[in-house]
Amino acid sequence: MKLRIEKAIYGGAGLGRVDGKAVFVPMTLPGEVVEAEIQPGRDKGSFAEAALLHVLEPAAERVVAPCPYFGACGGCQYQHAEYATQLEMKRSILLETLGRAGLRDVPEVRLHSAEPWGYRNRIRLHVDAATHALGYRRRASRVLLVVDRCPIAAPLLERSLAALQALFAEQQAGTWCAEVELFCDGAGEAMVMTLRLRAGARAGEAELQRLAGGLGEQVPALVGAGLLQAAAERAGREPVAARGQRTRAKAQGRMAPARENRAEPAEDVDGESPEGALVRSWGERGLRYQAAGHAYEVSLGAFFQGNRFLVDRLVSLATDGVADELVWDLFAGVGLFSVALAERCERVVAVEGAPVSSADLRRNLGPGPTGQDVRQARHRAVESSTLGFLAREGAGGAAKRPGHIVLDPPRAGLGMEAARLLAGVRSQGVTYVSCDPSTLARDLRVLVDAGYTISQLHLADMFPQTFHLETVVKLQLR
């Protein structure tokens, strides 16, 4: 069938219509005329998902993708578009998503971008148990695509990928390792590796030493490695894959994944290390990451923002102008925003529920450069879910009311219950950092209905070549 693409939608596809039915076609651009074929089992009545067969009338903004795996790999969706076009598509998607939630009278979207290639400081690779090959998931599939390069990854990670392919084959490491995560510092000069054990597999010191030592000989920048075992398996339970739900409003032209945590496959570009316990280590147990003029301890398995070129700007967007006596930093991670806030605010309460990240948060928010305990006494790291914290502290009265709240939730967002609790705190200012526009719009609707006004709207392109986008929203209480 032939159709004209009307617009880009969240999820990476373009929307066209045939006899009034919405049809979603990947690797297309607005204005293009394409030939597509509805996939078996993908006709849902009011909408359908199709495969691209031919581009009959290409857009002027279409370019040749530099990655040989583009189209097959599930990691990137926008390599066929000029970078300026990618940014405009994301801006349009953000505004349309907010508009569907009734948030139409919003400030102009301010775009923030950096180098769109080689920006990733972290990649996660799946391992085939039979062939021991490493790769990403194929698009819209759980099938492995073996790769030997990734142009959005930092050069250090790309070099390590090629070396690991040979080492895994030589050592038959796929029998015990299910996933490999590589994480490097912002300069691309130091790296750590996390290996996730396959369910039911046994591996120990010898296997880790052999693999990490072999990689370290070829890539001297490797400073540490660790074996991670699923927490459920350590407790004697069958491990359960926590896959988030994809919510769609297809007839309106939206495809919005909403995941419950930061963990997911390698093609999920902002994914966190899978939940689990470190059972063996080699060398250092983490990296010291320099960002926005601060040094952060980031342990194996802890979450950190994935764009090494734009993280400084993100810290500025989230924290500039915040100088209140008491500030809450919710979903604080290792303290990316908390540490910056601690420099200008009298008291910071930073809340993080993941144990590994929470431990790093305590260290990063601890005594300042002088080694004195004054800073630690003024600022507090709390290991708790945000919902639990808000339920306990939200009704604390004026004495405990923060002047400002910063939050950076995973894709599932704050959630209706937590959003209502946060609105009930009546903080004068809120900064919401989001990686999913649909859950952002849902939560903003709650805050606006409770008396908040959106004063600033920023789109930070933390994930070039993909449909993912990061939004920073500033709100003020009316």
pLDDT at 234 over 60: no
What share of the chain has pLDDT > 90, as a percent? 82
Contact 448, 103 (CB under 8 A): yes
> Given this model, what pLDDT does residue 231 score?
57
Q: Is residue 169 part of a domain?
A: yes
Residues 253 and 312 in one domain: no
Residues 349 and 423 in one domain: yes
> Given this model, what pLDDT does residue 260 score?
29
Q: Work out how many domains the chain is built from and give that number.
A: 3
83-100 helix and 437-449 helix, angle to the nearest 10 degrees: 40
Give residue-wise pLDDT tens across range 385-411.
Answer: 999 999 999 876 666 899 999 999 999
Residues 129 and 34 in one domain: no
Q: Is residue 17 part of a domain?
A: yes
| Confidence band for 54, pLDDT divided at 50, 70 and 90 | very high
> Given this model, what pLDDT does residue 243 score?
33
Mean pLDDT of 63-83: 98
pLDDT at 365 over 70: yes
Mean pLDDT of 221-237: 74
CATH number, residue 213:
2.40.50.1070
> Given this model, what pLDDT does residue 202 score?
87
Backbone angles phi, psi at 136, to 5 degrees: -105, 175
> Given this model, what pLDDT does residue 266 score?
39
Strand partners, 257: 246
CATH number, residue 9:
2.40.50.140
| Domain termination site, one of 62, 82, 103 | 62
* Euclidean distance between the first and the last CA atom of the chain, given in angstroms as a whole number: 52
Give residue-wise pLDDT tens across range 270-315.
Answer: 545 555 788 999 999 999 999 999 999 999 999 999 999 999 999 9
Residues 336 and 456 in one domain: yes
| Domain termination site, one of 62, 90, 109 | 62
CATH number, residue 381:
3.40.50.150
Give residue-wise pLDDT tens across range 313-331.
Answer: 999 999 999 998 999 999 9
pTM comes to 0.90
Mean pLDDT of 142-169: 97
Residues 363 and 282 in one domain: no
pLDDT at 93 over 80: yes
Residue type, 306: G
> Given this model, what pLDDT does residue 57 score?
99
Q: Is residue 100 part of a domain?
A: no
Q: Is residue 405 part of a domain?
A: yes
Domain region containing 41: 1-62
Q: Is residue 226 part of a domain?
A: yes
Q: Is residue 214 part of a domain?
A: yes
| Domain termination site, one of 43, 62, 81 | 62
Q: Is residue 2 part of a domain?
A: yes
Q: Return d(Cα 272, Cα 302) in angstroms, integer.
A: 7
Give residue-wise pLDDT tens across range 202-220.
Answer: 888 999 999 999 999 999 9
Residues 328 and 395 in one domain: yes
